[in-house]
Amino acid sequence: MSGTEDTQGQQPPKRRFLGRGDIEVSFEFFPPKNPAMEETLWRAIRRLEPLRPKYVSVTYGAGGSTRERTHATVARLLSETTLIPAAHLTCVNATKEEVDDIIREYWDLGVRNLVALRGDPPEGVGERYVPTPGGYENAAALVAGIKNIAPFTTSVACYPEKHPESPSVEADIDMLKAKVDAGADGAITQFFFDNEVYFRYLDRVRAAGIDIPIIPGLIPINNFKQAASFAKRSGASVPDWLERRFEGLEDDAETRHLVAAAVAAEQVLGLVDQGITSFHFYTLNRADLVYAICHLLGLRPAKAFAHKADESSEPTKIAKVAS
């Protein structure tokens, strides 16, 4: 019997071959609001940094409310870590000239990756979006503006279950195509919990002639109620079977964490078995569950970090590991 076939003569799941260097991951963080949150953020960053993600993105609050904190976090990532930051940028509450100034500042700082988004209304998700007078109308226009200034690698968002404000998935795909036509290099999906949702969407995107990478965005469920709330606001469905898995665990943190790890493993390994090798994790500034998933994906800490704990207390810049 062939060593690459199981007892039924079928090819084994692709997950069995993980660890051969074919998996890419990226992580999303949000800028901290206070010193305690900053400590939590940087603890997560230091935990995940040795896994050598392709990049790490830093979000922008609704209405551009975290602009300065986003910029400060990106600058610190560049100066104190080996990570490649990708700054989120939105169209909200800023004129084209103001956004263009931010783009140039990022380029001068050394940032080469941006995530271009329309952004949520200043009043929050669910409110009607109105373009800022004199600003970029939408993400497609923003991508074009970015590319006119400098050759950033630019990612955009896409929505397997459509954006909450879109009339249809078809309209969403038309918008994605406009972003691609404007120069988008790749797209990150809104999170989803049922892999079939992603694959159905991917089929429709490819049928529309869109060939850029469509990276699945995944949110590990540290807190089911919180994740369900995010899903409701984002237009992502929560399957009944997923709710049942967390049923009755509100006061049982230990079991809840074990179930969360099992759910995350099932989803990510199911994607691997279907040939997916790139993943974007919405970390919510928490590292443990994301780190465990990455371990399952075959990722291991870079050797450059192996003896970091034995280094002197003097801050040391570790040479960037080739990606």
Residues involved in catalysis: 28
> Which strand ranges, in their side-by-side order, compose the sheet holding 217-218?
214-215, 186-189, 153-158, 113-116, 85-89, 56-58, 24-29, 278-282, 217-218
Tell me the C-alpha to C-alpha distance, in Å, between residue 6 and each of 15, 18, 179.
14, 17, 44
Give the phi and the psi of residue 187 in degrees, each rounded to 5.
-130, 145
The beta strands (E) that lie in the chain are given as 24-29, 56-58, 85-89, 113-116, 153-158, 186-189, 214-215, 217-218, 278-282
Tell me the C-alpha to C-alpha distance, in Å, between residue 90 and each of 49, 64, 133, 166.
26, 7, 14, 18
Contact between 30 and 23 (Cβ < 8 Å): no
The whole-angstrom separation of Cα 140 and Cα 138 is 6
Report helix angle 288-296 to 253-273, nearest 10: 40
SS3 114: strand
In sequence order, the 6+-apart residues with CB closer than 8 A to the CB of 60 are: 66, 67, 70, 87, 88, 89, 90, 117, 119
SS3 109: helix
